[in-house]
Amino acid sequence: MVTDTILRLEGLVKHYPIRKGLFNKQVATKRVVDGVDLEIPGGQTVALVGESGCGKSTLLNIIAGLLEPSSGKVLVDGVEVKGTGVDRGVVFQQYALFPWLTVKKNVEFGLKLKKDITPQQREETAMKYIKMVGLEKFVDSYPKELSGGMKQRVAIARAYAVNPSLLLMDEPFGALDAQTRTQLQTELLRTWEEEKKTCFFITHDVEEAILLASKVIIMSARPGRIREVLDIDIPYPRTQETKILP
């Protein structure tokens, strides 16, 4: 197993401007993330939990490079994050697929940013991950022809395809029904066994965090800080039955 630190957060702070007063002219700031330090070793699956509005998505979006921190920094493999990059694959709750592209083209999309691969390698890689998520019969389908669970599988395949150092997932199963969620959790457990990727994901479901993660980070609200980091010592491979272990 890889053990080097993949992700390091140093003194991360994020405040948002808030407008109030007459004609919203008065600008104040709201401190959402308030000095977060964190280290995540390679090969681990880490869950971030905390009450709604405590700053989890803000933190993940900063790591993804979609938001700039007000101060502090994010290092991935020792390199400071400055915007988005193929070293980080991101999966959102709402699929974020391109509706005008087929499943295959959606998965290939991120690979186009990689300069060192040929169109044929791009296609082979896309097909490998489409197979991994069991959608080989739907390569030429468009997102609107797929169920929510299938769309999320495409998003997961797309994130894996670029072979990122770090997978970031913001409530990846939050929009799915209970049965589909259970099915995708089981698939992810299997995939993680095979790929051993470092994964940082947000969930509001503590059972899901314990099922999937080797570390659970609990974030507190106002101020948004790391309250506790728990090691989940249940050995892998885990199954859905892990949830009901005493």
Please report, as ranges, the residues that interact with ligand ADP according to CB under 6 A.
Answer: 16, 32, 50, 52-58
User: What value, to the nearest 5°, has the Cα angle with vertex 170 and ends 218 and 19?
Assistant: 85
CB of 24 to ligand ADP, least distance (A): 13
Of 51, 102, 29, 13, the closest CA to residue 218 belongs to: 51
Query: Based on CB atoms, which residue is closest to ligand ADP, 11 or 53?
Result: 53
**Could you give the 3-state DSSP secondary structure of residue 83?**
coil
Query: Based on CB atoms, which residue is closest to ligand ADP, 113 or 206?
Result: 206
C-alpha distance from residue 243 to each of 7, 121, 162, 185, 201 (Å) = 28, 39, 31, 12, 18
What distance in Å separates the CA atoms of residue 200 and residue 213, rounded to the nearest whole number?
9
CB of 143 to ligand ADP, least distance (A): 24
Query: Based on CB atoms, which residue is closest to ligand ADP, 3 or 52?
Result: 52
Of 53, 49, 78, 92, the closest CA to residue 208 belongs to: 49
CB of 201 to ligand ADP, least distance (A): 12
CB of 232 to ligand ADP, least distance (A): 21
Query: Based on CB atoms, which residue is closest to ligand ADP, 2 or 27?
Result: 27
